[in-house]
C-alpha cells in the first residue's frame, strides 16, 4: 500500500524526531521524555518509560507496605521504588532494630515484648499545615499490635513508635489540618473480659485516641459502638471523623450487616480541648478518657450500611463516603452534618480521591474499575450520564486509591495510583500466591490514561503522594553533627581521635569509618564487659555509605556520610570477632574490617 503524501510527511517527521533524540543522547544532552511530547504513544505496561533513564521523578509516593510492616518510598511517574522506611519490623539493610534505640522502639511497644516485632501497616498520613501537606513528618499505623509511628522526613527515618492503650487494632489514623493532633481509631470492640477497665460502665466498646504530634497520648474519646476503621479530618481542623460500620455491635458477619444504616462519627476537636480543661474525664489505663456524654463531643451521621472510605474533598465542605455494600457513595455536608446526596457510581465503592478540577475518582471493588465523576454535577442532581465523566477498568478490585495531594486543599490533578487487591492473569505467576498489582493513571486530561501496570510485593495498601520539592527543605535541614549530639549526646569523633574509655565493666569506643578502614585495627575487651561503640563516618561525599556489622553479637548498622551510629553489646563470648563493612563503599570494601578480641 502506498502512503499518501501527508502520511509520508508524518512518517518522515517522526523518523527525524527519533533521530534527533538519538543524536541528543549521543552528545550528552539529557534524553527527552518520549511520553511528555504530545501525540506520542501512551506508555502501557512500562514499555515506553515515562521517566527515561537518567531523568528523575516529579513526585514521591509513600506506600504502606501492609504486612511488610513499613513504608515504601516510590518515585512517580516511574513507579521505581527508591527506598524502604522500616517501621514496625527489624530490617538489617537499614540497621533498623540493630541498635539500642530502634530495638527498644520495636520490642517495648509489642503486646508481648519477647515476641518478634511485626506490623500490619495500612494508612500513611503526611503532616499538614493549613490543610496541605507540609513535608515534615509521616505517620503510619500498625493494625495488628495497636501501634502508631512517626517518621521524620529529614532522614526518612522512624523516630517514634507508640502502643495505644485501652483498644485493640489501630486501623485508620488522621492528621489534624495543622498537625496539632494525630488521631487513631480502635477497630475491635473490647469485651469486659479482655480489658475490664476500658468499658466497665458498659457504655462503650472502643475509643478514638488523640495524640500530640510526637505521639504522646493526650486523651481518648469513648465510642459506644465497636469497629471504627477508616478515619479522616476536616480541612479546617474542626473535626476528626471515622466510620462506625457495626452499629449493631454484632460479633458475627450476619449481625454486623443486619442494619440498613451505619454511621460516620464526628468528633469536635475543640470539645476535646474544653473537656480536658474542665476535667470532664476519668483516668482509665493511664489515659484521660473523656466523658462519653460530654455535650457536643460526638455527632453520629447515619449513612448507607458498612461504609468504608471517608475522603474529604478539597473545598472542605463535603466528605465522600464509599458505601462498600451499596452501589452509591454518600456525600456528607460537614456543616449540616447530614448526607445531602447519594451518588450512584458502581458496585462496591471502597475509596475516593480528587483532582483540582472538582472531580472525584472512586474505585469500585466489585466492578473492578475507577469512575471519574463530577461533584458539582452530582450535587446539582444532574443525570448519571452527565456527572460520570469517565470509567476505566482497574485490574482487579481496587482498594485504596490516591491522587497527588488527595485529601488536602490543593490536589495536584496529575497522577492517580490504584493499588489493586488481585492480579489474577496480569503476570507470570510464581509459587502458590500471585503478585499484587498496582496501576498508575494520568488524570490530567478529560479521560484517565493508564500509564503503567506493575507487580509489587504484598501488599500495596494506601498511599500519600506529593511533589518532590515539598521534601527538599526537610532533607537539606539534616545536619549529621547535630544529630549525633541530639541522638547520642556526643560530639562526632574526628580523624585520628579514636579512643577507648573504661569505667569498671563499661567500655566505650569512639571511632571513625572512612574508605576503607575503621579508626581502630584491633580492640581488646574482657569477657563480661559491656561495650558501646560509636562510629562516626568521616565521609563528606554523598552516597558513600559504610556499615558496621558484628554478626556474632547481632549487630549491623549502615553509616551515612557524617553520621554517628551507636551500637552496644555484652562481650559474653570469648574469641576473635571481625567487625566488617556491610555497604559497598569502594574497591577495598572487603578489606574494611577490624577485629574485636574478647579475652578471658
Ligand atoms: Cu566501607 Cu564497605
In tens, the pLDDT along 559-588 reads: 999 999 999 999 999 999 999 999 999 999
The proportion of the chain whose per-residue pLDDT surpasses 70, expressed as a percent, equals 90
pLDDT tens digits, one per residue of 355-400: 999 999 999 999 999 999 999 999 999 999 999 999 999 999 999 9
How much is the average pLDDT of 453-481?
89
**Local structure of 385: helix, strand or coil:** helix
Q: Cα(558) to centroid of ligand 1, in Å?
A: 9
Mean pLDDT throughout 504-511? 98
Q: What percent of the chain has pLDDT over 90?
A: 71
- Band of pLDDT at residue 549, cut at 50, 70 and 90: very high
**Predicted confidence (pLDDT) at residue 180 exceeds the cutoff of 90:** yes
Q: How far is the CA of 563 from the centre of ligand 1 (A)?
A: 14
Closest atom of ligand 1 to 592 CA is: 1
CA distances from 512 to 231, 343, 521, 593 (A): 46, 63, 11, 12
Distance between CA atoms of residues 451 and 441, nearest Å: 5
- Nearest CA residue ID for atom 1, ligand 1: 546
Closest ligand 1 atom to residue 515 Cα is 1
Report the separation in Å between the CA atom of 498 and the middle of ligand 1, taken as the mean of its atom positions.
18
The confidence score (pLDDT) of residue 256 equals 81
Q: Which atom of ligand 1 is nearest to the CA of 585?
A: 2
pLDDT at 44 over 50: no
Tens digits of per-residue pLDDT, 248-285? Answer: 877 788 888 888 888 999 999 999 999 999 999 988 88
Determine the average pLDDT of the residues in 150-162: 95
pLDDT band at 544 (very low <50, low <70, confident <90, very high): very high
Per-residue pLDDT band for 11 (boundaries 50, 70, 90) equals very low
Q: Distance between CA atoms of 356 and 374, rounded to whole angstroms?
A: 11
Query: Is residue 398 within 8 Å of 347, Cβ to Cβ?
Result: no
**For the CA of 584, the nearest atom of ligand 1:** 2
pLDDT digits over 49-104, tens only? 578 888 899 999 999 999 999 999 999 999 999 999 999 999 999 999 999 999 99
How far, in Å, from the CA of 511 to the mean position of ligand 1? 15
- How far apart CA 113 and CA 305 sit, in angstroms, is 38
How large is the average pLDDT for residues 413-420? 96
Residue 532 CA to ligand 1 center (angstroms) comes to 21
Question: What count of residues does the chain have?
Answer: 600
| Residue 584 CA, ligand 1 centroid: distance in Å | 5
Q: Would you say 144 and 155 are in contact if contact means Cβ atoms under 8 Å apart? A: no
Of 390 and 187, the structure prediction assigns the larger pLDDT to: 390
Contact 417, 402 (CB under 8 A): yes
pLDDT of residue 191: 55
Q: Average of pLDDT values for 444-467?
A: 93
Ligand 1 atom closest to the Cα of residue 513 is 1
Number of H helices, E strands in the chain: 8, 40
pLDDT digits (tens, 9 = 90+) for 110-124: 999 999 999 999 999
Record the pTM: 0.88
Q: Output the CA torsion sign for 127, 133, 135, 139.
A: positive
403 within 8 A of 411, measured Cβ to Cβ: yes
| Region 168-188 average pLDDT | 95
**Nearest-atom index, ligand 1, CA of 516:** 1
Show the cell assigned to 11: 512518517
Q: What is the pLDDT of residue 30?
A: 37
- Residue listed under C-alpha cell 482487579: 396
pLDDT at 486: 87
With cut-offs at 50, 70 and 90, classify the pLDDT of residue 202: low
Instruction: Categorize the per-residue pLDDT at 590 as very low, low, confident or very high, splitting at 50, 70 and 90.
Output: very high
Return the ligand 1 atom nearest residue 589 CA. Answer: 2
Contact 149, 208 (CB under 8 A): no
Q: CB under 6 Å to ligand 1: residues?
A: 516, 546, 581, 583-585, 589, 592
| Segment 8-22 mean pLDDT | 39
Cα(88) to centroid(ligand 1), Å: 27
Mean pLDDT of 413-441: 91
pLDDT tens for residues 431-441?
A: 888 888 999 99
Cα 583 to ligand 1 centroid, rounded to whole Å? 5
Residue-averaged pLDDT of the chain: 88
Question: What is the pLDDT, as a whole number, of residue 203?
Answer: 63
At residue 97, the pLDDT reads 95
Single out the residue of 393, 370, 374 nearest to residue 384, CA to CA.
374
What's the mean pLDDT in 307-323?
95
Going by their DSSP bridges, the two strands 506-514 and 530-537 should be labelled as parallel
Amino acid at each position: 500500500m502506498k502512503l499518501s503524501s501527508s502520511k509520508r510527511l508524518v512518517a518522515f517527521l517522526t523518523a527525524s524526531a527519533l533521530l534527533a533524540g538519538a543524536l541528543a543522547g549521543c552528545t550528552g544532552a539529557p534524553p527527552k521524555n518520549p511520553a511528555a511530547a504530545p501525540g506520542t504513544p501512551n506508555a502501557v505496561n512500562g514499555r515506553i518509560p515515562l521517566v527515561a533513564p537518567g531523568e528523575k521523578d516529579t513526585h514521591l509516593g509513600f506506600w504502606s507496605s501492609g504486612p511488610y510492616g513499613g513504608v515504601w518510598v516510590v518515585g512517580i511517574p516511574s513507579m521505581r521504588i527508591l527506598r524502604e522506611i522500616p517501621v514496625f519490623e527489624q530490617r538489617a539493610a537499614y540497621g533498623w532494630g540493630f541498635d539500642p534505640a530502634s530495638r527498644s522502639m520495636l520490642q517495648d511497644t509489642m503486646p508481648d515484648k519477647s515476641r518478634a516485632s511485626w506490623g500490619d501497616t495500612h494508612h500513611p498520613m503526611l503532616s499538614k499545615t493549613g490543610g496541605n501537606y507540609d513535608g515534615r513528618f509521616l505517620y503510619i499505623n500498625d493494625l495488628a499490635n495497636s501501634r502508631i509511628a512517626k517518621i521524620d522526613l529529614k532522614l526518612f527515618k522512624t523516630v517514634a513508635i507508640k502502643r495505644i492503650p485501652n483498644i485493640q487494632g489501630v486501623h485508620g489514623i488522621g492528621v489534624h489540618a495543622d498537625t496539632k493532633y494525630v488521631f487513631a481509631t480502635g477497630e475491635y470492640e473490647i469485651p469486659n473480659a479482655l480489658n475490664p477497665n476500658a468499658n466497665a460502665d458498659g457504655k462503650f466498646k472502643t475509643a478514638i485516641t488523640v495524640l500530640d504530634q510526637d505521639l504522646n497520648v493526650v486523651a481518648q474519646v469513648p465510642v459506644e459502638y465497636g469497629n471504627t476503621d477508616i478515619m479522616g479530618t476536616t480541612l479546617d481542623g474542626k473535626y476528626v471523623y471515622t466510620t462506625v460500620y457495626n452499629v449493631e455491635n454484632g460479633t458475627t458477619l450476619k449481625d454486623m450487616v443486619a442494619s440498613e444504616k451505619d454511621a460516620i462519627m464526628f468528633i469536635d476537636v475543640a470539645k476535646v480541648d474544653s473537656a480536658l480543661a474542665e476535667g470532664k474525664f476519668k483516668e482509665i489505663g493511664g489515659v484521660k478518657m473523656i466523658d462519653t456524654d460530654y455535650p457536643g463531643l460526638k455527632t453520629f451521621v447515619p449513612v448507607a450500611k458498612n461504609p468504608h472510605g471517608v475522603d474529604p474533598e478539597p473545598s472542605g465542605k463535603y466528605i465522600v463516603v464509599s458505601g462498600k455494600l451499596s452501589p452509591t457513595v454518600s456525600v456528607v455536608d460537614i456543616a449540616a452534618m447530614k448526607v445531602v446526596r447519594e451518588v450512584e457510581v458502581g458496585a462496591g465503592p471502597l475509596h475516593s480521591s480528587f483532582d483540582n478540577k472538582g472531580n472525584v475518582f472512586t474505585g469500585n471493588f466489585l466492578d473492578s474499575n475507577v469512575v471519574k465523576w463530577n461533584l458539582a454535577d452530582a450535587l446539582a442532581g444532574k443525570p448519571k450520564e452527565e456527572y460520570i465523566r469517565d470509567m476505566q477498568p482497574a485490574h482487579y478490585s481496587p482498594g485504596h486509591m490516591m491522587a497527588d495531594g488527595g485529601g488536602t486543599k490543593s490536589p495536584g490533578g496529575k497522577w492517580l495510583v490504584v493499588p489493586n487487591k488481585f492480579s489474577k492473569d496480569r503476570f507470570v505467576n510464581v509459587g502458590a500466591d500471585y503478585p499484587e498489582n498496582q496501576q498508575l493513571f494520568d488524570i490530567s486530561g478529560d479521560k484517565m490514561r493508564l500509564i503503567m501496570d506493575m507487580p509489587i510485593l504484598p501488599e500495596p495498601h494506601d498511599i500519600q503522594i506529593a511533589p518532590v520539592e515539598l521534601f527538599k527543605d526537610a532533607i537539606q535541614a539534616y545536619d549529621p553533627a547535630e544529630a549525633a549530639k541530639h541522638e547520642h549526646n556526643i560530639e562526632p569523633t574526628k580523624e585520628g581521635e579514636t579512643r577507648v574509655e573504661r569505667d569498671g565493666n563499661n567500655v566505650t569506643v569512639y571511632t571513625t569509618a572512612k574508605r576503607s578502614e575503621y579508626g581502630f585495627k584491633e580492640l581488646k575487651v574482657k569477657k563480661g564487659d559491656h561495650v558501646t561503640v560509636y562510629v562516626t563516618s568521616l565521609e563528606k561525599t554523598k552516597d558513600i555509605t559504610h556499615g558496621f556489622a558484628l554478626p556474632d553479637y547481632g549487630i549491623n548498622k549502615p553509616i551515612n556520610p557524617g553520621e554517628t551510629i551507636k551500637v552496644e553489646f555484652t562481650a559474653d563470648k570469648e574469641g576473635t570477632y571481625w567487625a566488617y563493612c556491610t555497604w559497598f563503599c569502594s574497591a577495598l570494601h572487603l578489606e574494611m574490617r577490624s577485629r574485636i578480641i574478647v579475652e578471658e
